[in-house]
Amino acid sequence: EIVMTQSPLSLPVTPGQPASISCKSSQSLLHSDGKTYLYWYLQKAGQPPQLLIYEVSNRFSGVPDRVSGSGSGTDFTLKISRVEAEDVGVYYCLQMLDLPTFGQGTKVEIK
Amino acid sequence: QVQMVQSGAQVKKPGASVMVSCKASGYRFTTFSITWIRQAPGQGLAWMGWISAYNGATNYAPNLQGRVTMTTDTSTSTAYMELRSLRSDDTAMYYCTRGGQLGYDYWGQGTLVTVSS
């Protein structure tokens, strides 16, 4: 099983300031097809998770460009350039190279 | 627009079975897979398994093998997840989600299953 480790687990943020979440996998997520199967989700209170980023750095439809993903191999980062109130929730990374596994989640809240 | 609509909350006794449905609309059902993911109260997300809506092929999480069955009815664009021999630690929100080239892009609203004597 590929283990996904996120940090921090809690992230108080000031509106307008940047935020960054790290996700590390226990093995490389690079497939032989050249794709890296790393995804980011946001789960707002009382809602199902929503897809933000697919294959490391591709924004899903409707995701604002202040949200970005980067990384390679085993180290990945989700960045929000300027946090807004609507960004509050729990962020999860997900690997789909093998049987899918999620990170523990990072709770983002407004200071 | 794509929608995944799940059946309502259920309360079950330990040892019983539960079936949750997920009706898809807004796309060709057989061109995507359906994945089931659950979330225990206050906990993270756990992948349960996957079914191809094209040919019915399945792949289940090892810890659920023998207790879970996923099926689809292509005539109604509906997916089903049955979990048997329920235990208290099966109490969770159960989500269906569409799987494709973008990962899990559209999700159902969730179905709360409570296992309690």
d(CA A57, CA A94): 13
d(CA B97, CA A71): 25
Could you read off the pLDDT of A17-39 as tens digits, one per residue? 999 999 999 999 999 999 999 99
pLDDT at B29 over 90: yes
Q: Cα torsion for A58, A28, A26, A75, to the nearest 10°? A: -50
pLDDT of res. A44 = 98
Burial class (CB in 10 A: 0-12, 13-18, 19+), A54: buried
Interface of A with B in 29-88 (CB under 8 A): 37, 39, 41, 43, 48-51, 54-55, 58, 60
pLDDT of res. B76 = 98
Strand partners, A38: A95
DSSP A36-98: B-EEEEEE-TTS--EEEEETTTEEPTT--TTEEEEEETTEEEEEESS--GGG-EEEEEEE-SS
Burial class (CB in 10 A: 0-12, 13-18, 19+), B44: middle
Residues 6+ apart with CB under 8 A from B106: B2, B3, B4, B97, B98
Cβ separation B104–A51 shorter than 8 A: yes
Cβ separation A48–B105 shorter than 8 A: no
pLDDT of res. B101 = 86
Q: In the A/B pair of chains, how many CB contacts fall below 8 A? A: 49
Question: Who among B35, B44, B47 is closest to A104 (CB)?
Answer: B44
pLDDT of res. A75 = 98
In 3D space, the residue among A99, A94, A101, A44 whose CA is nearest the CA of residue A69 turns out to be A94
Pairing of strands B92-100, B103-107: antiparallel
Pairing of strands B68-73, B78-83: antiparallel
In 3D space, the residue among A21, A17, A12 whose CA is nearest the CA of residue A88 turns out to be A12
The CA radius of gyration of chain A, in Å to the nearest whole number, is 13
Percentage of the residues of chain A whose pLDDT score is greater than 70: 100
Looking at CA atoms only, how far is residue B94 from chain A in angstroms?
10
pLDDT of res. A108 = 98
pLDDT of res. A5 = 98
Average pLDDT, chain B: 97
Contact residues on chain A for B107, CB-CB shorter than 8 A = 48-50
Could you read off the pLDDT of B33-78 as tens digits, one per residue? 999 999 999 999 999 999 999 999 999 999 999 999 999 999 999 9
- Would you place residue A64 in the very low, low, confident or very high pLDDT band (cuts 50, 70, 90)? very high
